[in-house]
A and B are shown apart, each in its own frame.
Chain A
Amino acid sequence: MIRTGGHHPRNGSSSNQKPLEDNISVKNGYHRNEKVHSNGKGNGFYRSWDRGEDSFEEAPMYVAVLTYMGFGIVTLFGYFRELLRAVGLEKCNQAQEREEQKDFVPLYQDFENFYNRNLYMRVRDNWNRPICTLPGPVFDLMERVSDDNNWTFRLTGRTIDNVINMGSYNYLGFAENNVDFLKTVAETTVQYGVGVCSTRQELANLTVHKTLEQLVAEFLGVESAMSFGMGFATNSMNIPALVGKGCLILSDELNHTSLILGARLSGATIRVFKHNNMQSLEKMLKEAVCSGQPRTHRSWMKILIMVEGIYSMEGSLIRLPEILALKKKYKAYLYLDEAHSIGAVGPTGRGVTEHFGVDPKEVDVLMGTFTKSFGAVGGYIAGKKELVDYLRSHSHSAIYATAMSPPVVEQITRALKCIMGTDGTREGQRRVQQLAENTRYFRSRLKEMGFIIYGNQHSPVVPLLLYLPGKVGAFSRAMLERKIGVVVVGFPATPITEARARFCVSAAHTREMLDKVLQSLDELGDSIRLKFSRRRCPVRPQVCNETDFELDS
């Protein structure tokens, strides 16, 4: 018995639902869907109050003021240095036009190049650090120094060993080189080689590909799936095959570049709605259905809502039940990009559909990548058999791109079998649960300490807000000093006032590693003053860890 878009709270549920005006416009709170779920333990495991709200706490006003002030001062110095370079007192280390081209249209005077020369270069040593082992829970870095303020680097030859990796998308820990686990991958390499030398449509449709796609379809609970060699290309090459001119794409504000590129390539009309904001989406849907195409007022051929499962810069989860209700009401299609959420959320790792207890057959196009939770490369698109068969013959990626390499296919296959449990061990299930536990622990401890963390409490992507431009560089260097590798992100990937450090929790992280990271964050948070949160959580009582106290007999 499937009831979707349930509109009154169940007895005994303590979810914070407000009474709904109609089926669709939910202000906050969630629908509780009573479902019989064909795969995984979707119903009964996660109750609605566990789903959590996305939190985007705002920092105090002085932080925004200081951020702008910091950027302003560094920009002023940027202009000063540009003056020195223009006058000739200083050598310009970045690319410049040749002497003969000086009277032509200037190539390097736009804001992006200015930012690159004067702001990014100064702190450039925090990115593109060379790694010399596999990106597991700990890794080794090459030591790199610069003699001229980050314009050039040289490797000293030494390595920084056992740096804790908090930046790799290694959610389930499948980026490993354990010989036992990789036995089947080695056998497949011996049998098939590494290169396929053709496209899927021509001569590279191997049996391993078929096995993989059947497994993916079974894992997700849909009819059929198709795999592609590159995750970015899965989005950008398949959206043009699905929609074209005369269609409307409603895309979330914070969608990934691959989705935006695919949407632009398709030639459809694109409208952007506010991030995770159902009122904005509904307004746009209403307007699209009522007014139709811009001049002719004919109805749109297709309306496609493009969203992601987990947004990697915010760590927020999509509101899937509400979007599904909206989609049904306005007869639109849904394209769900589960790049970060497949394998990482849900009680058995099957993504946001399982997390919300929703039937995956209701989502029209399920897309995901194998790069994050499966430790491989590539992506997939899954859904109805007609859809996937259409894509097999009409997608650019299927026709022109080389098929996925056999060892990679085998790695994904063994990872899927591990997660589903069909290889006979409980390792996959253990990893999924370990990831959930690590995520919960990490996020709750960070909140307790007083940092501002964005996103949903179940998302393994944890953005920690730094705000000030000076602190971004200081934070990354100080963490590397303490042998923890983090990824910091600033403008232009984030809004200018919201620079952040993004942690990716992994199932391979042990409690000791997380504790070490948390302790370093605690110290740094005090010495650099990063604890901006104004919500005071009660301090947890110290858990007694003793197991060897004497019992009075």
Chain B
Amino acid sequence: MTHAADDVTEHRHIFHVGSSHRDGVARRVNMKTMREYVSWLYYQYLLITGIYVLEPWEKSIFNAVLFTMVAMVVYTSYVFVPIHMRLALEFFSGLARGHLERTVALMS
């Protein structure tokens, strides 16, 4: 509970609400710096995935695994997406040109 209490205290001091209108939540929660905003986003990630209840070393394991998978996805997309896009564009433009040539041949 000591760990969790520190966690909550730290988050509570940061996330103090400013106004009472129902606009975007980020604006309502009065966050002064980028660092606080990132910290709040990390807190949301902890709550939503349910990692909040785990012990710190379990959190590290999960974050490491998730980060590895995300890094692999990013790398794969960096390597393969431009090539696939180019091939797809070529295929579809080839289709269109073929269609155009056939209609031109029909006309003449």
Residues of A in contact with B (beta carbons under 8 Å apart): 66, 69-71, 73-74, 77, 119, 122-123, 125, 144-147, 149-150, 153, 450, 468-471, 473-474, 477-478, 481-482, 522-523, 526-529, 539
Contacts and interface: CB of A to CB of B under 8 A. Distances in A.
Given A77-B58, A77-B62, A474-B52, A146 B8 contact: no
Contacts of A66: 48
Contacts of B108: none
Nearest to B66: A73
Contact of A527 (B2, B11, B51): B11
Contact of A470 (B12, B17, B25, B46): B46
Name the residue among B11, B25, B43, B49 with the largest chain A CB count within 10 angstroms: B49
A469 B53 CA distance: 8
Nearest to B48: A66
A73 B47 CA distance: 12
Interface in B6-36: 8-9, 11-12, 15-17, 20, 22, 25, 28-29
Contacts of A450: 22
A473 B1 CA distance: 11
A527 B46 CA distance: 13
B54 interface: yes
A526 to B, nearest CB: 5
A69, A71, A74 pick with most chain B CB within 10 angstroms? A74
**Chain B interface secondary structure, helix, strand, loop or mixed?**
helix
Given A146-B2, A528-B47, A523 B17 contact: yes
A149 B47 contact: no
Contact of B1 (A77, A146, A528, A539): A146
Contact of B54 (A74, A146, A471): A74
A420 B15 CA distance: 48
B47 A122 contact: no
Contact of A526 (B2, B29, B58): B29
Contact of A477 (B4, B22, B40, B46): B4
Given A71-B50, A146-B2, A529-B47, 16 more contacts: A70-B49, A73-B49, A74-B54, A77-B62, A119-B53, A146-B1, A150-B1, A471-B47, A474-B47, A474-B52, A477-B5, A478-B8, A482-B12, A523-B17, A526-B15, A527-B43
B18 to A, nearest CB: 10
B101 interface: no
B68 interface: no
B20 A468 contact: no
A522 B50 contact: no
B50 A74 contact: yes
A149 B58 CA distance: 13
A474 B49 CA distance: 13
A474 B29 CA distance: 17
B44 interface: yes
A149 B49 contact: no
Contacts of A470: 46-53
A238 B22 CA distance: 52
A77 B2 contact: no
Nearest to A469: B50
A473 B11 contact: no
Contacts of B20: 522
Contact of A523 (B4, B16, B44): B16
A112 B48 CA distance: 24
B59 to A, nearest CB: 10
Nearest to B58: A77
Nearest to B17: A523
Nearest to A450: B22
Contacts of B16: 523
A72 to B, nearest CB: 8
Contact of B50 (A73, A147, A150, A153): A73
A473 B44 CA distance: 13
* 8 cross-chain pairs, A with B, having the tightest CB-CB distances, nearest first: A70-B50, A527-B15, A470-B52, A470-B47, A523-B17, A122-B53, A125-B1, A470-B50
